[in-house]
Amino acid sequence: MLPVTGQIDLADEKQFVEVKTKWRRRTGKYRSDGTMSFSLTAIKPSQEYFLQCIFYHIATGLKINLIIANESEYKIFNQDNCDEFSPENIEKVKNKIRLTCIRRERLAGRHAGKQTWTQDIRLDTSTFYWDRDEHLTIAEELWNTNLI
């Protein structure tokens, strides 16, 4: 069995709080002084935030509170005001998590002790975390090394 880990930001005996921040985003425009222009990002939860919170709820049984903030406001999402945290949706996500864990265990078993697992997984570099120059090139080289 593969371990699954996570860390809750804040909790007491009845509920937990997961805190997410939204940073300004580049607009692609320049100000008159030549510096880059930025805009506030809307406070909108992503599916990854919901998945993380539901995972914590399943693991602990605690009530969910997701706080998302930018520099001018914040919003609290929980079972009282967010359909994604309804018991029905939690059950759907629970099944999705279970199937994902089963797939990962099968993959790990198939490639146990070998560096060949990249043959069965597509490298996803579509997130904004990748520096499109040096880091992406290094990651692709490492990934492709195991394909041979």
DSSP letter at 121 equals S
- Are 66 and 127 in a shared domain? no
- Are 66 and 136 in a shared domain? no
- Nearest CA to 15 out of 50, 49, 66, 51 is that of 66
- Are 97 and 46 in a shared domain? yes
Read off the tokens for 35. 């510096």
Identity of residue 86: S
- Nearest CA to 88 out of 97, 100, 79 is that of 79
- Are 67 and 100 in a shared domain? yes
Q: At a CB cut-off of 8 Å and minimum separation 6, what does 145 contact?
A: none
CA atoms of 64 and 102, how far apart (whole Å): 25
Q: Which residue range(s) make up the domain with 74? A: 10-110
From 12-16, 69-73, 125-129, 133-137, the region with the lowest mean pLDDT: 125-129
- Are 31 and 50 in a shared domain? yes
Distances (CA, A) of 66 to 7, 73, 78, 108, 120: 14, 14, 6, 32, 34
Read off the tokens for 85. 């945290």
- Are 26 and 99 in a shared domain? yes
- Are 120 and 79 in a shared domain? no
Long-range contacts made by residues 105-114, C-beta under 8 angstroms, separation at least 24? 105/1, 105/2, 108/2
Give pLDDT tens digits for 58-109: 999 999 999 999 888 999 999 999 999 999 999 999 999 999 889 888 988 8
The residue-averaged pLDDT of 29-57 equals: 86
- Are 82 and 128 in a shared domain? no
The residue-averaged pLDDT of 113-142 equals: 74
Q: Does the predicted model carry a pTM greater than 0.75?
A: no
- Are 65 and 99 in a shared domain? yes
Domain count, the chain: 2
pLDDT at 76: 97
